[in-house]
Structure 1
């Protein structure tokens, strides 16, 4: 296990957000380890009008003002959302989408647990590529809940992020999704693993999107 250390998270949000791509979230759900590879993130800064922290410190938002690697969870669109605080008060990264990950710790048999946690509207199992394609779907599939993990720290026995040696070959940078007009909606603080662009919240490479106008291609930093 290569659990990410606190200093990995104690960095600027705009540096942390792309570096989280390819890392694996591990959660022990009812005695079974469920895992998801991070494929889409969004950075939020204290000075950014689109961030929760810009609205000021409250007890509910206190995790955003703590040391890097503090878990901040909140409800969005009727579901749970997962964030990690970054360096500096009020800065954080939203885990926007993931993709189920299978290995010795989380074998393919865990797919049935993910599907049971997050059936479609007809109660049928979702295909693997749709299980974590959105911030609330990710949390629902893994079984992560606001009351359990908001304002908590990572735990090697329960919830952590691991470096499994996976690296995106190319990163797509674009503006964030769902930011209201006048709330710094123009800031290009969204990062997507290009290989998984089809499986994130909204494909940044879809038809009609122009490079240099709607998105930019980034080369990941060397290991």
Structure 2
């Protein structure tokens, strides 16, 4: 799998030095490669969500300013912002805009185009039933698991020169891949957030089977785990 996508050039840092809602649709069809200790996995992005900066987007982690948790979002563009949510899931974002601005794009879903065996092993179900390929990275938590992204990868630079296959393990690279056909890109409300939910900054490739289903926000009952990490928005 993968075709010529893994031989495509890395995206330049300037690609991310723009507002997140401009970067987000341009990320569709691009490929994120991560080399973990158990192998390299590459995911073609099919669904993303943009989140704005401090004071402008109530659904963003940066809305109230810089904190130790969201500090990576205020750093250079092209870095991974990986956070833990609801006491059980990691989610991955790509930082946008220059130092100090605090903006990112949440990676919501994609197709595993390289490293299927490693992705399947990471996503193995507790009941032993095989997971369909389309579901390996279908949803932000599943995508993070398939790529092997956890808290230790928060702040990892995804803009590197050279071939990702020749880099040390525990590295990440964004590749040009094959940009999505503009006629197939759709946008709509962001998924599962309680504020600014009408903002149409969720972008996806129409008809792609790996795109996650839209879910409106449903208030959760607070529990110890959720309270310990905070019920923060998506990015």
Question: TM-score, with normalisation over the residues of structure 1?
Answer: 0.81
8 Å Cα contact 1:116/1:125 also seen in 2: no
In structure 2, the residue matched to 1:217 is: none
Once the two structures are TM-superposed, the CA of residue 24 in structure 1 deviates from its matched residue by: 0.5
In structure 1, the residue matched to 2:89 is: 79
Superposed CA deviations along residues 26-47 of structure 1, whole A, max 9, x for unmatched, are: 1112263211100000000011
Q: Which stretch of structure 1 is more off in the superposition, 62-71 or 24-33?
A: 24-33
Map 1:35-184 to 2 at 5 A: 35-46=42-53, 47-77=56-86, 78-88=88-98, 89-101=101-113, 106=114, 110-147=115-152, 149-154=153-158, 155=160, 156=164, 157=167, 158-168=171-181, 169-180=183-194, 183-184=195-196
Task: State the distance in 2 between where 1:201 and 1:152 align.
Answer: 25
In structure 1, the residue matched to 2:201 is: 189
Once the two structures are TM-superposed, the CA of residue 187 in structure 1 deviates from its matched residue by: 0.5
8 Å Cα contact 1:12/1:91 also seen in 2: yes
The two structures, once aligned, show a CA RMSD in angstroms of 1.7
Task: State the distance in 1 between where 2:145 and 2:129 align.
Answer: 15
Once the two structures are TM-superposed, the CA of residue 165 in structure 1 deviates from its matched residue by: 2.6
8 Å Cα contact 1:118/1:125 also seen in 2: no
Once the two structures are TM-superposed, the CA of residue 59 in structure 1 deviates from its matched residue by: 1.5
8 Å Cα contact 1:170/1:193 also seen in 2: yes
In structure 2, the residue matched to 1:200 is: 211
Once the two structures are TM-superposed, the CA of residue 203 in structure 1 deviates from its matched residue by: 5.2
Once the two structures are TM-superposed, the CA of residue 68 in structure 1 deviates from its matched residue by: 1.4
Superposed CA deviations along residues 6-60 of structure 1, whole A, max 9, x for unmatched, are: 1111111111000000001111122632111000000000110000000321112
Structure 2: gaps of 5 or more residues: 1-6, 216-235
Runs of 4+, deviation exceeding 6 Å: none
In structure 2, the residue matched to 1:216 is: none
8 Å Cα contact 2:44/2:177 also seen in 1: no
Question: TM-score, with normalisation over the residues of structure 2?
Answer: 0.77
Number of corresponding residues: 193
In structure 2, the residue matched to 1:33 is: 40
Task: State the distance in 1 between where 2:31 and 2:62 align.
Answer: 26
Secondary structure of 1:112's match?
Answer: helix
